[in-house]
């Protein structure tokens, strides 16, 4: 008889945005992002991870740069002691300025290599008053 393993819980919270510069607009309410989240959730479930998408419409991030866009999405993994860390904190510098690629990278890092994510108290240049504590 196989033992039932508890699924690891990870949540991804998307904050509201105030877009100050059009070139950094990304539609977190659109079909492309919805399809991306559905696919990522399905992929992670196969690997033993429950990924939940949440919205926080009360918190608003001003988007002046790509670094600010990285601050819109927060990843939490209570089992690993990670709470509301922005994508920029988790991945550092973005290689291709592709928000969906960066979200996928951050989710996978927290899921499978949480020890590689710096503690919230460590300063990271990519964060800009996002409230994640880094």
Contact yes or no for 26/69 (Cβ under 8 A):
yes
> What CATH code is carried by the domain that includes residue 85?
3.40.30
Kindly report, residue by residue over 55-68, the tens digit of the pLDDT.
999 999 999 999 99
Does residue 27 fall inside a structural domain?
yes
Does residue 24 fall inside a structural domain?
yes
Between residues 56 and 124, which one has the greater pLDDT?
Answer: 56
Between residues 76 and 3, which one has the greater pLDDT?
Answer: 76
Does residue 48 fall inside a structural domain?
yes
The packing angle between helices 99-112 and 31-46, to 10°, is 20
Does residue 80 fall inside a structural domain?
yes
Work out the average pLDDT over 21-38: 95
Number of domains in the chain: 1
CA 114 to chain centre: 13
Does residue 134 fall inside a structural domain?
no
Kindly report, residue by residue over 38-52, the tens digit of the pLDDT.
999 999 999 999 999
Q: Show the tokens assigned to 111.
A: 């899921």
Q: Show the tokens assigned to 75.
A: 């990843």
Give the Cα separation of 99 and 1 in Å (integer). Answer: 42
Q: Show the tokens assigned to 99.
A: 């928000």
Range of the domain at 51: 8-116
Given a cut of 60, whether residue 107 has pLDDT beyond it is yes
């Amino acid at each position: 008889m196989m033992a039932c393993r508890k699924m690891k819980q990870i949540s991804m919270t998307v904050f509201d945005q105030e877009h100050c510069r059009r070139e950094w607009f990304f539609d977190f309410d659109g079909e492309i992002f919805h399809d991306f989240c559905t696919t990522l959730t399905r992929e992670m479930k196969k690997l033993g991870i429950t990924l939940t998408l949440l919205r926080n419409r009360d918190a608003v991030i001003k988007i002046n740069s790509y670094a600010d866009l990285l601050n819109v999405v927060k990843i939490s993994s209570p089992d690993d002691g990670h709470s509301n860390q922005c994508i920029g904190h988790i991945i550092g510098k973005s290689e291709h300025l592709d928000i969906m690629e960066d979200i996928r990278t951050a989710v996978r890092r927290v899921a499978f290599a949480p020890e590689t994510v710096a503690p919230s108290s460590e300063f990271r240049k990519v964060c800009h008053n996002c409230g994640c504590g880094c």
